[in-house]
Amino acid sequence: EPEVTQTPSHQVTQMGQEVILRCVPISNHLYFYWYRQILGQKVEFLVSFYNNEISEKSEIFDDQFSVERPDGSNFTLKIRSTKLEDSAMYFCASIRSQGGNTIYFGEGSWLTVV
């Protein structure tokens, strides 16, 4: 069974610090996503990425966030200056192509900002 892998599984960081969350999508997938889930709340879409550029982004994905696919396998989410309210589980997901294919989520990276 193919899987999306994410690292780290858990990170604690001080407010104002930069954080990079890493994801390895499934190898033949073309569309990549980041979602987040604040404890007790809904899973929320952050950004979609295709062909080495952002396809869409939500209101949450402000200038503090950026994504990159640096080497053809990793897909990263960077938060430049973390805030307390950035504490959440961040999920990476990938899909082979749009139009109704199964989306695969990673196990998540739990970010705690203190």
Partner 1 sequence: KQEVTQIPAALSVPEGENLVLNCSFTDSAIYNLQWFRQDPGKGLTSLLLIQSSQREQTSGRLNASLDKSSGRSTLYIAASQPGDSATYLCAVDSGGGADGLTFGKGTHLIIQP
Contact positions vs partner 1 (CB under 8 A): 4, 31, 33, 35, 41-48, 50, 55-56, 58, 91, 93, 95, 98-100, 102-108, 110
Residue 18 vs 50, nearer CB to partner 1: 50
Name the minimum Å distance from CB 38 to partner 1.
Answer: 11
Instruction: Indicate the burial class of 89 (C-beta count within 10 angstroms; 0-12, 13-18, 19 or more).
Output: middle
- Token pair, residue 104, equals 């695969």
Q: Collapse the DSSP code of 93 into the 3-class scheme (helix H, G, I; strand E, B; otherwise coil) and give the result.
A: strand
Q: How far apart are CA 80 and CA 68, in angstroms?
A: 13
Minimum distance from residue 30 beta carbon to partner 1 (Å):
10
Closer by beta carbon to partner 1, 35 or else 75: 35
Q: Could you tell me the end-to-end alpha-carbon distance of the chain, in angstroms, rounded to an integer?
A: 36
Determine the Cα–Cα distance for residues 107 and 40; give it in Å rounded to an integer: 17
- Nearest approach, Cβ of 16 to partner 1 (angstroms)? 27
For partner 1, give the closer residue by CB, 95 or 113: 95
Report the residue count for the chain.
114
> Nearer to partner 1 by C-beta: 93 or 113?
93
